[in-house]
Structure 1
């Protein structure tokens, strides 16, 4: 019989469950200006267990899926999936995400005591095309037409409430554009 050990999800334990929010605002580029989309969403974080890389690095893993719908027509306009990973030894959180526009990224941040204050977890995680550690991969079409240059997400979780502000710097329609999303979600289960 093998020994059963509990997985150390570290700060990611705060994420586990189903989160819903209806206060979202998406500010996105249009060829002739800017589009604002009020939205609601569901993000589901499921325990993925742990894994070992190179017989040395141990990661606790959450799988997630994020579905975002416009309030105006209930149509899905964003479907994202990926993983959140915790490296307890290095005190690093990693976030890999994929969207069906042929864009993927791996963001990361090393946590400090400042990320935990009065029962609140705050994470500021980022990736960039010129970042050697935390990068962005995209198809040739996206590189030419809608290049994602940088990604940043600031998340706060406290007492079953999650807020986030996400900024994606794009080179699109012949100009740079700061695409933003923000929302407040409540833990359902």
Structure 2
């Protein structure tokens, strides 16, 4: 379906992500308030990554993608998704940084990032509350009930048609008085490739 892209790439390490993806081996580990227990949920997921116009902040130039990731529990694919996020992935070539600006439908906003070279195949996105650059915001209810104390995520580009990710939200739970790792992981396959030089509205 696709080949390794050679030559200059304005999107840097984000280039292989451009397109539509699906994954059916997702696993979510989280605390369930109703059952007062931590358990795993398997899920199906769709992800879309589309190039955006160049972004210029004075002397800073950013290239990037807008994206969405939506997940349904197995057996509930015809129902509402249990997870939905939208955001931007950005590449700062001069500073060798990748940025992930993500908003979750639960009332959470995160700007995460780390260093990355133009051809890196493992992209880290880290954030912590209170940070002036890579930080975390959440709505007042969640701040009281499940305060996020760390966010760490990794995208791994395995080959031109496969990428996987892990995500770890460290939560301080009011219900138990303890911290826990809310984790998600999945492997997705390319179902439609967009031209990486294109721009979409």
For 1:30 and 1:158, how far apart are their aligned partners in 2? 32
Give the superposed CA RMSD. Answer: 1.7
TM-score (ref. length: structure 1) = 0.89
Query: Structure 1 residue 162: deviation in Å?
Result: 0.4
TM-score (ref. length: structure 2) = 0.83
Residue 107 (1) aligns with residue 86 (2): no
Q: Tell me the residue number matched to 2:198.
A: none
Query: Structure 1 residue 165: deviation in Å?
Result: 1.0
Q: How many residues align?
A: 178
Query: Structure 1 residue 154: deviation in Å?
Result: 1.3
Alignment of 1:71-90 (within 5 A): 71-74=74-77, 75=79, 76-90=81-95
Query: Structure 1 residue 79: deviation in Å?
Result: 0.6
Alignment of 1:130-145 (within 5 A): 130-145=130-145
For 2:76 and 2:44, how far apart are their aligned partners in 1? 11
Q: Tell me the residue number matched to 1:39.
A: 43
Matched position secondary structure for 2:54: strand
Which structure's residues are more often strand, by fraction? 1
Specify which of 86, 92, 95 is matched with residue 97 of structure 2.
Answer: 92
- Asked whether the 8 Å contact 1:7–1:60 carries over to 2, the reply is no
Q: Tell me the residue number matched to 2:146.
A: 146
Structure 2: runs of 5+ lacking an equivalent: 1-7, 193-201
Query: Structure 1 residue 71: deviation in Å?
Result: 0.2
Deviations 1:31-83 (A, max 9, x none): 31112110010010011121101x21000020001110000322410010000
Structure 1: runs of 5+ lacking an equivalent: 1-5
Q: Tell me the residue number matched to 2:199.
A: none
Q: Tell me the residue number matched to 1:68.
A: 71
- Asked whether the 8 Å contact 2:9–2:15 carries over to 1, the reply is no
Matched position secondary structure for 2:10: coil
For 1:43 and 1:89, how far apart are their aligned partners in 2? 28
Q: Tell me the residue number matched to 1:122.
A: 122
Q: Tell me the residue number matched to 1:168.
A: 169
Q: Tell me the residue number matched to 1:3.
A: none
Q: Tell me the residue number matched to 2:183.
A: 180
